[in-house]
Amino acid sequence: MKALVKAAAGPGIELTEVPTPQAGAGQVLIRVLRTGICGTDLHIESWDDWAARSVRTPLIVGHEFVGEVVEVGAGVADVTPGDTVSGEGHLVCGKCRNCMAGRRHLCIRTIGLGVHTDGAFAEYVVLPASNVWVHRHDIDLDVAAIFDPFGNAVHTALAFPVLGEDVLVTGAGPIGMMAAAIAAHAGARHVVITDVSPYRLDLARKMGATVSLDVSAHSIAGVMPDLGMSEGFDIGLEMSGRAEALRDMIATMSPGGRIAVLGLPAEEVPVDMATVVTRMLTLRGIYGREMYETWYAMSVLLQSGLDISPVITHRFGYEQHAQAFATARSGNCGKVIIDWTRAALT
């Protein structure tokens, strides 16, 4: 089968032929239809310090996908050939304290699909049946391909109740844009999103943000009077991983405010703990999705009218992977999709 492979340590990725995997006991073989490019894939393709520490080559990359089940292994129930499925890319041990307690997203031995084991940027992928999410309702394949990052956005945006609250989202990447749309859909009073990219700020506004703020030219505190806010934001969603974004967020939270942090910093972040303490703020780290409460919430949100499709801005065939990666890296895009049923799209 064809697959995008990180063949050796160093920059680059190549489309090559590799053996088609087989479904063993408890596993599912899936024909991949669409995949989404994630920031993690960009790190691996460029071979930065994180990738050099975390990835062993050769490796089929990719973890955001939708496909069709073609074969199930022995002992698999509730998943059948022909099902349209997405996959949970965190493979857990099932035996640690958190797994045994049903808190699988907290598994200390989590393995990442397309990071620590062969992934989904290929014509076929094998997953444990317990990591397969069957779409029981009609869904656009491109949207189903980004259920993984959509889940990150849902997990973060709904970490705290947002109904009637003023929400600040720092970082208008695809997950930040989706988080803003989710918060607005869930009843937030105002949703302010910050970034420095005019392209992404405009797209975030179209997806439901009340205010899209270029923080290179305007302060967060400066927009509060126009929105009738006097004490600060009730909920913060930090999606950028930037130190200055978290510091600005802490400085503009109301007393008792709650912050969900998904953005992963590249280095240590100094935090004004005096403000955290005296304003009695809550900071909660978010990693991945709750298995499978978040997945259920994703499906329900789409069925209730949430539309995240505008976040998908570019589509390519699998032979156009270099162009797809370059587009994703440019920042002048939302989510970038690779179609594994076609070599090239016009």
What angle, 0 to 180 degrees and rounded to 10, lies between the N-to-C axes of helices 147-157 and 174-185? 50
Tens-digit pLDDT string for the chain (346 aa): 999 999 999 999 999 999 999 999 999 999 999 999 999 999 999 999 999 999 999 999 999 999 999 999 999 999 999 999 999 999 999 999 999 999 999 999 999 999 999 999 999 999 999 999 999 999 999 999 999 999 999 999 999 999 999 999 999 999 999 999 999 999 999 999 999 999 999 999 999 999 999 999 999 999 999 999 999 999 999 999 999 999 999 999 999 999 999 999 988 899 999 999 999 999 999 999 999 999 999 999 999 999 999 999 999 999 999 999 999 999 899 999 999 999 999 7
In a domain, 16, yes or no: yes
Within a domain: residue 346? Answer: no
Q: Return d(Cα 302, Cα 81) in angstroms, integer.
A: 24
Residue 299 falls inside a structural domain: no
Same domain, residue pair 199 and 137: no
- Is 99 flagged in the annotation as binding? yes
- The reply to whether 240 falls in a domain is yes
Give the model's pLDDT for residue 22. Answer: 96
223 and 278, same domain (yes or no): yes
Same domain for 67 and 14? yes
Q: Are 21 and 118 a contacting pair, CB within 8 Å?
A: yes
- 159 and 125 in a common domain: no
Tell whether 63 is in a known binding site. Answer: yes
Both 136 and 168 in a single domain?
A: no
Q: Is 43 among the residues known to form the active site? A: yes
Is 13 a known ligand-binding residue? no
| Residue 44 annotated as lining a ligand binding site | no
256 is in which domain, residue-wise? 153-285
The label of the residue with tokens 């596993």 reads 27
For residues 106 and 12, membership in a common domain is answered with yes
333 in a known ligand binding site: no
Would 59 be classed as within a structural domain?
Answer: yes
Residues 166 and 239 reside in one and the same domain: yes
* Active-site option among 43, 117, 282, 313: 43
In a shared domain, residues 173 and 129: no
Please state the domain count of the chain.
2
Whether residues 244 and 322 fall in one domain: no
* pLDDT number for residue 266: 81
The pTM of this model reads 0.95
pLDDT of residue 346: 78
- The enclosing domain of 51 has a CATH number of 3.90.180.10
Query: Domain for residue 313, yes or no?
Result: yes
Q: 137 and 184: one domain?
A: no
Q: Are residues 125 and 158 in the same domain?
A: no
173 and 101 share one domain: no
Which residue of the set 40, 194, 210, 294 is catalytic? 40
Q: Specify the CATH number for the domain of residue 259.
A: 3.40.50.720
Our answer to whether residue 117 is catalytic in this structure is: no
